[in-house]
């Protein structure tokens, strides 16, 4: 790995703000962000649609695009049933190993910001900067609900809260939702994404020479 390559790893529960903050950090720092959850969702699409697991990922215009047999299936990744299916599949060791390999292959070629569940512990254990980003479960459910409504999906908030709690239980069960000892805890419950991003940027810049 080239010596000028460095990585920022962000772990945390569903709808904790990881994706938004990673993209804001990417803009500030000028390095791309990798959505590892998109890879898991890609496998879920393959499972649901009975496709092969010949999955590849590319970061294009700061969007993690997923391909199955070289066909771009990115638009399917955020469909509501894919969220639950990807969480269930992520308990499978073979699925996790495949996702880790795809992520590490990308990270070996470039500096990037990676966000997911076990980035600090498994995917990028040697990342220069590690964070665990979380928020109260009701706040996270509200954020997820707002995203769904913005995409035109009519899902009751109560259902989204139930699914958020379910995802937390699944993530804990599969062992990925763990804060490593060297990951800095960031609670964004009372913050807007821009505030959280600035707080993380201050930490990164303070530790730049470490």
Answer yes or no: is pLDDT of 1 > 50: no
Task: Of 66-70, 101-105, 115-119, give the lowest mean pLDDT range.
Answer: 115-119
pTM listed for this prediction = 0.85
pLDDT digits (tens, 9 = 90+) for 174-190: 766 889 999 999 999 99
Confidence of residue 3 (pLDDT cuts 50, 70, 90): low
Q: What's the distance, Cα to Cα, between the start and end of the chain in Å?
A: 19
Residues with Cβ within 8 Å of residue 106, at least 6 apart in sequence: 34, 57, 59, 112
Q: What are the distances in angstroms from CA 50 to CA 45, 46, 68, 101?
A: 8, 6, 11, 22
d(CA 187, CA 39): 25
Q: What domains, with CATH codes, occur in the chain?
A: 7-199 (3.40.50.300)
Q: What are the distances in angstroms from CA 91 to CA 111, 125, 136, 177?
A: 28, 20, 24, 12
């Amino acid at each position: 790995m080239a010596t000028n390559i460095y990585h920022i790893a962000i772990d945390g529960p569903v709808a904790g703000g990881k994706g938004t903050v990673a993209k804001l950090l990417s803009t500030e720092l000028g390095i791309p962000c990798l959505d590892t959850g998109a890879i898991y969702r890609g496998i879920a699409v393959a499972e649901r649609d009975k496709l092969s697991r010949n999955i590849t990922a590319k970061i294009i215009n700061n969007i993690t695009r997923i391909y199955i047999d070289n066909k771009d299936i990115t638009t399917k990744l955020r469909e509501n049933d894919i969220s639950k299916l990807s969480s269930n599949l992520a308990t499978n060791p073979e699925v996790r190993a495949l996702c880790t390999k795809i992520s590490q292959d990308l990270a070996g070629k470039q500096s990037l910001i990676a966000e997911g569940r076990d980035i600090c512990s498994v995917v990028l254990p040697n990342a220069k900067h590690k964070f665990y980003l979380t928020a109260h479960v009701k706040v996270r459910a509200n954020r997820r609900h707002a995203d769904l409504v913005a995409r035109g999906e009519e899902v009751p908030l109560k259902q989204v809260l139930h699914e958020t709690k379910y995802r937390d239980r699944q993530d804990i069960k599969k062992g990925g939702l763990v804060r490593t000892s060297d990951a800095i805890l960031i609670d964004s419950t009372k913050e807007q994404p821009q505030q959280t991003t600035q707080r993380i940027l201050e930490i990164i810049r303070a530790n730049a020479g470490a």
